[in-house]
A = this chain, B = another copy of it.
Amino acid sequence: MATGRTHRPATRSRGIPEATVARLPLYLRALTALSERSVPTVSSEELAAAAGVNSAKLRKDFSYLGSYGTRGVGYDVEYLVYQISRELGLTQDWPVVIVGIGNLGAALANYGGFASRGFRVAALIDADPNMAGTPVAGMPVQHTDELEKIIADNGVSIGVISTPAGAAQQVCDRLVAAGVTSILNFAPTVLSVPDGVDVRKVDLSIELQILAFHEQRKAGEEAGAEAVVADAVAEAAAADVTAAGSAAEAAPTAARAENTDRKGPDGDVPAVMPA
C-alpha cells in the first residue's frame, strides 16, 4: 500500500488549519440561510449559535481568512458568503462522478446539496450491465466500461465511490488512473492511493458504533457501578463475537448542541489520509 508519509509538506504552512476548513461549510450553510432571509449583517455570537460552534472559535476561524468583519458591528452576510465560497473553491464548477449506483449511490445522485454548492453530477456509473440506461435522478446510468472516457470528456477530478467494499479499491485505481485526484469513499474499506490523491471516507456504521460507546457509558453511569462485567466470559466469547465482514470506516464528527444557552459542538478534524 502506498506509504506516502508526506502529510503536510511544511512548505504550505501558510494555509488555513484543517479544523477550520472543515468548519467553513458549516458557516456557509448558516450564512446562506441568513442570506435567504435577507439578513444584512450578523455578529460572531449569532452566527456561531446558528452554526453550532462557539463564537471565539468562529472569530478565530475567520481571522485565518482575513479581516472580513467590522468591529462593533459584525460581519456582512453576503460578503462572507462570497469569501467563504471562494476559499472553498465553490465559485467554480466541480463535475463529479458517482460510481456504484445501489441504494446509497441513488440517494447521493438525488441529493440536492450537490448542485446547490457548485457540484455537478457528471455521470452515474455502475458495473451492472442491466442498470445501463436506467434513469436515476433523471440521468441514465452508464456502464463501468465508459469510466475512463467519461472522466476525460468531463474533466472530472472528484469521484464518489459507493460500491460494495470488494469493488472499491479497483474502482479507485481506475478513477485515479483516469485522472481523478479527490475521492469520497463510502465503501467500508481502506483505500490505497498514490501521493497527491486525497481520500475522505465516510462510514455509516462507524458513527453508530461511536454513539453506542457513549450510550453504553451513560447506562453504566446511571447504574452507578462500573463493573465492566465479563472478564471471565471474555475468553469464551471471543471466538465468535463477530461476523460479517463489512463495516466501518473512519470518520469522526460529532456535534452536540444544547438547548439552553451555550453550547458547543465540537471539533472535527479533517483527515484526508495520505495513503
Contacts and interface: CB of A to CB of B under 8 A. Distances in A.
Interface in A23-55: 23-26, 28-33, 35-36, 49-52, 54
Interface string A90-101: 111010100000
A59 interface: no
Interface stretch (A124-132, A139-147, A251-259): A251-259
Contacts of A263: 265-268
Contacts of A270: 210, 258-259
A90 B209 contact: yes
Given A202-B204, A252-B259, A36 B246 contact: yes
A202 B226 CA distance: 30
A215 B157 contact: yes
Given A191-B257, A205-B117, A272 B214 contact: yes
Given A103-B110, A202-B207, A182 B21 contact: no
Contact of A251 (B54, B110, B212, B248): B110
A264 interface: yes
A228 B86 contact: yes
Interface in A200-224: 200-218, 220-221
Contacts of A49: 1
A86 B245 CA distance: 13
Contacts of A157: 215
Name, among A14, A160, A185, A238, the residue most crowded by chain B CB atoms within 10 Å (CB to CB). Answer: A238
